[in-house]
Chains A and B, each alone.
Chain A
Amino acid sequence: MLEQCEGSHAVAKAVALSRPEVICAYPISPQTHIVEGLGQMVKSGDLTSCEFINVESEFAALSVAIGASAAGARSYTATASQGLLFMAEAVYNASGLGLPIVMTVANRAIGAPINIWNDHTDSMSMRDAGWLQIFAETNQEALDLHIQAFKIAEELSLPVMVCMDGFILTHAYERVDMPDQAQVDRFLPPYEPRQVLDPNDPVTIGAMVGPEAFTEVRYLAHAKQMQALDLIPQIAAEFKKEFGRDSGGLIKTYQTEDAETIVIALGSVLGTIKDTVDDLRAEGVKVGVLGITSYRPFPISAIRDATAHAKRIVVIEKCFAVGIGGIVSRDVRSAVRNRPQPVLTVVAGLGGRAITKASVHQLLLDAIADKLELLTFLDLDWAVVNRVLEREKTQRRSGPIAEGILRDMGTVLVPGA
């Protein structure tokens, strides 16, 4: 049924349709509306056979989910930013134990400086934690991916993070096609755990493992993610059969067949990039877009094949690794290794800075003219940066950096000034 609703509401409904048994909630922007919605559904009786638990921290949220999942319950939580970092130890633990928890990450920047707006630094920090990470481009896809996520997670007995851009998706009202319960029930069977805490068939979960077997256990985690490279497209196909929509999969391409320049990105920015590509195509520029839906496992072959003919690859990423540069682009480079095409890193949209069509348009023209350096920060204000560098050179006590910048920019009123 078509519905005009907030992204968070669409996700809450999708999670509820997936019949979760335990939901743990801890507030953090921009995720909070999702668990608020679920809390209301449980309290009102719309979502039955489900425990909704208000916990005292994100670390507890995921820990409760770990206990619930190990006891055989379909378990869900949502977080963002600092919350994801605060639960980091439990993030690794959930995947290490092989528990199929589904968690929404409403992508948000990491402080300091504290910033509630969107970028991908939070989930990227957990990219090697053993979870599958799938990124939604639209609210419809966010909705669809959550339903698929439970199936993927439970099939593999691995946790799945569904990443959606904070505010840009979570707080945006868009039209979505909301499936009905019968459809979801046909697609998603009840959870059949591979391991469960059962007094009638007792097992020990979480024993200590020494060097004699640790490598094998870790390798199997990798092997399961490699299986996911086949499973994710398969489940996307099953999803299409039931719901009639293309959603999920490993990657999606737009105008890449004859493209000399291929832009790679994740999440909602793909819409802006596609619009820019349309404009450039109208000017006769052969450019296309590749969106990564499955970031973990990283679809090396799919990306390698889809970009084989391109002269250059431009990766626009909402995160970066301080001290080296790109994160996504580094993975893309390993996918296209031994090929002459340059992979250019563009860091953009940090802390919610808008990625505009105008900026992307100019960026791609520069890339095509081979004027782009290996690492570019889109719309970086050099005057601001240079002023701080100069101050640090001349003043020992140059003061707090972020506050100094805001003062320079006039965002903060200086008392008496």
Chain B
Amino acid sequence: MEQSLVKFYQTGTFTVGNRLLAPEQRSVQSGAARSNSLNSGHRACQGCGEALGARYAIDAAMAATNGQLIAANATGCLEVFSTPYPETSWQMPWIHSLFGNTAAVATGIAAAMKAKGRNDVRVVAQGGDGGTTDIGFGCLSGMFERNDDVLYICYDNEAYMNTGVQRSSATPPAARTATTMAVGEHPGNEFGQGKNVPQIAMAHEIPYVATATVADLRDLEYKVTKAMSVRGARYIHIFVPCPLGWGAASHDTIKLSRLAVESGVFPVFEAERGEVTGVLKIRHQVPVEDYLKPQKRFAHLFGKKPDVATLARLQARADRNIRRFGLLT
């Protein structure tokens, strides 16, 4: 990928904003001029991947637009933890309308700006996986096919966390949620269900689609910046672990994101007009077990008698991603 000019993981620290870099190579987040659009003081849980992802994504978008940015936000964790009346963490114009209409609201904002000749003002829409892949999917697909000038960001934590960890169409197979309990013959979420929205977005042949994780925040910033350099409908799907919903330690958010990438569970790629143009290669492939084990939502697969068959199926899914996207060199 283009940003691989600078290989940050060489330091082994996963830190951002390396002071040894020239200023133009530094991350948005490391700069004193960052907009702090999602300001501190909000009520996200400790280790929240969504809060981290949103902070980097929106600040990068703000930097790319010289602060001329308006956000539309779906109902969900991000909305609830950032705007408990009368407080707001948003240091930018921000609107929350409903759960399922965020892409359409963003279309409306973009249309208003176009009608007023304000081509400098850009629009970002954001929501969780429930608000994106399920209830907001109709409006999202409509925004895509009309190629409206909106960047839609999905923060995917793989379930309805705000309502108490229920299954969404982004929940992986075998995962325990409040509506796919770890009981019965096939505990956890079903195999053979769910939808891959980044690929569905690509099928709309929109100018830009990308996936990212909070393990590689430079990659995330790069993709948001790139998305903002393009006009038309754009989609970024960010993998954001949820310590509460996944039954994971707060300090493992970055680690789990990295393991999801390195195991092939979550392929990181970008695509233009329906064609994959770049993938983030896996440096050291790890077995899916390494990714699954630290999460209580998969605890029923382990224990005294590990569910070898199910683990094999999950490994096969990861292997398929690796093959499909050519994640290994």
A residues touching B (Cβ–Cβ < 8 Å)? 21-22, 24, 49-51, 53-57, 59-60, 63-73, 75, 89-90, 93, 97, 197-199, 202-210, 213
Task: Pick the contact of A22: B91, B98, B100, B111 (CB < 8 A).
Answer: B111
14 additional A-B pairs beyond A51-B111, A53-B111, A93-B97, beta carbons within 8 Å, are A21-B116, A22-B112, A56-B142, A57-B138, A60-B107, A63-B108, A66-B97, A66-B104, A67-B107, A67-B109, A71-B112, A197-B109, A199-B121, A210-B85
- Which residues of A lie under 8 Å from residue B69 when comparing CB positions? 199
CB–CB B104/A60 < 8 A = yes
B226 part of interface (Cβ distance < 8 Å):
no
Given A202-B91, A204-B83, CB of A21 within 8 Å of CB of B142:
no
B67 part of interface (Cβ distance < 8 Å):
yes
Q: Mark B132-144, 1 if CB is under 8 A from A, else 0.
A: 0000001101100
Q: Which 10 A-B pairs have the closest CB atoms?
A: A67-B108, A56-B142, A73-B112, A63-B101, A206-B96, A63-B104, A71-B112, A67-B105, A68-B108, A207-B83
B250 part of interface (Cβ distance < 8 Å):
no
> How distant is the Cα of A118 from the Cα of B237 in the complex, in angstroms?
45
**Distance between A212 CB and nearest chain B CB, rounded to angstroms:** 8
CB–CB A67/B104 < 8 A = yes
> How distant is the Cα of A205 from the Cα of B110 in the complex, in angstroms?
17
Given A21-B112, A59-B100, A210-B85, CB of A53 within 8 Å of CB of B107:
yes
> How distant is the Cα of A71 from the Cα of B111 in the complex, in angstroms?
9
Question: What are 18 A-to-B residue pairs whose CB atoms are below 8 Å?
Answer: A22-B112, A24-B108, A51-B114, A56-B139, A60-B104, A65-B108, A66-B105, A67-B72, A72-B116, A73-B108, A90-B98, A199-B67, A199-B69, A202-B91, A205-B95, A205-B96, A206-B97, A208-B79
Task: Pick the contact of B108: A59, A66, A208 (CB < 8 A).
Answer: A66
CB–CB B115/A21 < 8 A = yes
A72, closest chain B residue (CB): B112
Q: Mark B192-227, 1 if CB is under 8 A from A, else 0.
A: 000000000000000000000000000000000000
| Max chain B C-beta neighbours (<10 A), residue from A50, A53, A93, A204 | A204
Task: Pick the contact of A69: B83, B100, B108, B142 (CB < 8 A).
Answer: B108
> How distant is the Cα of A210 from the Cα of B43 in the complex, in angstroms?
15
- Which residues of B lie under 8 Å from residue A49 when comparing CB positions? 115-117
- Which residues of B lie under 8 Å from residue A54 when comparing CB positions? 146
> How distant is the Cα of A198 from the Cα of B98 in the complex, in angstroms?
20
- Which residues of B lie under 8 Å from residue A90 when comparing CB positions? 97-98, 101
A73, closest chain B residue (CB): B112
**Distance between B86 CB and nearest chain A CB, rounded to angstroms:** 8
> How distant is the Cα of A56 from the Cα of B90 in the complex, in angstroms?
30
- Which residues of B lie under 8 Å from residue A72 when comparing CB positions? 112, 116
CB–CB A56/B107 < 8 A = no
CB–CB A64/B83 < 8 A = no
- Which residues of B lie under 8 Å from residue A73 when comparing CB positions? 108, 111-112, 115-116
B14 part of interface (Cβ distance < 8 Å):
no
> How distant is the Cα of A210 from the Cα of B92 in the complex, in angstroms?
23
CB–CB B80/A70 < 8 A = no
- Which residues of A lie under 8 Å from residue B139 when comparing CB positions? 56-57, 59-60, 63
B36 part of interface (Cβ distance < 8 Å):
no
B88 part of interface (Cβ distance < 8 Å):
yes
> How distant is the Cα of A57 from the Cα of B103 in the complex, in angstroms?
13
CB–CB A208/B115 < 8 A = no
> How distant is the Cα of A244 from the Cα of B163 in the complex, in angstroms?
56
B69, closest chain A residue (CB): A199
B84 part of interface (Cβ distance < 8 Å):
yes
> How distant is the Cα of A374 from the Cα of B32 in the complex, in angstroms?
74
- Which residues of A lie under 8 Å from residue B84 when comparing CB positions? 207-208, 210
Task: Pick the contact of B101: A50, A59, A68, A75 (CB < 8 A).
Answer: A59
B249 part of interface (Cβ distance < 8 Å):
no
> How distant is the Cα of A53 from the Cα of B109 in the complex, in angstroms?
12
- Which residues of B lie under 8 Å from residue A65 when comparing CB positions? 108
Given A56-B138, A199-B67, CB of A205 within 8 Å of CB of B111:
no
Kindly identify, within residues 141 to 167 of chain B, every residue whose CB is under 8 Å from any CB belonging to chain A.
Answer: 141-142, 145-146, 148
> How distant is the Cα of A197 from the Cα of B146 in the complex, in angstroms?
23
- Which residues of A lie under 8 Å from residue B146 when comparing CB positions? 53-54
Given A199-B121, A205-B94, CB of A67 within 8 Å of CB of B106:
yes
CB–CB A56/B97 < 8 A = no
**Distance between B172 CB and nearest chain A CB, rounded to angstroms:** 28
Given A51-B115, A199-B68, CB of A60 within 8 Å of CB of B101:
yes
- Which residues of B lie under 8 Å from residue A24 when comparing CB positions? 108
B101, closest chain A residue (CB): A63
- Which residues of A lie under 8 Å from residue B91 when comparing CB positions? 202
**Distance between A58 CB and nearest chain B CB, rounded to angstroms:** 11
CB–CB B116/A64 < 8 A = no
| Max chain A C-beta neighbours (<10 A), residue from B68, B95, B142 | B95
CB–CB B70/A197 < 8 A = yes
> How distant is the Cα of A66 from the Cα of B95 in the complex, in angstroms?
10
- Which residues of A lie under 8 Å from residue B79 when comparing CB positions? 208
> How distant is the Cα of A186 from the Cα of B55 in the complex, in angstroms?
47
B16 part of interface (Cβ distance < 8 Å):
no
> How distant is the Cα of A213 from the Cα of B84 in the complex, in angstroms?
12
B113 part of interface (Cβ distance < 8 Å):
yes
- Which residues of A lie under 8 Å from residue B41 when comparing CB positions? none
CB–CB B70/A199 < 8 A = yes
**Distance between B303 CB and nearest chain A CB, rounded to angstroms:** 40
B184 part of interface (Cβ distance < 8 Å):
no
CB–CB A68/B142 < 8 A = no
B93 part of interface (Cβ distance < 8 Å):
yes
> How distant is the Cα of A56 from the Cα of B115 in the complex, in angstroms?
21
B141, closest chain A residue (CB): A56
CB–CB A206/B95 < 8 A = yes
A207, closest chain B residue (CB): B83
Kindly identify, within residues 108 to 132 of chain B, every residue whose CB is under 8 Å from any CB belonging to chain A.
Answer: 108-117, 121
- Which residues of B lie under 8 Å from residue A206 when comparing CB positions? 73, 83, 95-97
CB–CB A60/B109 < 8 A = no
CB–CB A71/B83 < 8 A = no
Task: Pick the contact of A202: B92, B112, B117 (CB < 8 A).
Answer: B92
CB–CB A50/B141 < 8 A = no
- Which residues of A lie under 8 Å from residue B97 when comparing CB positions? 63, 66-67, 90, 93, 97, 206
- Which residues of A lie under 8 Å from residue B93 when comparing CB positions? 197-199, 202-203
Given A57-B138, A206-B97, CB of A67 within 8 Å of CB of B83:
no
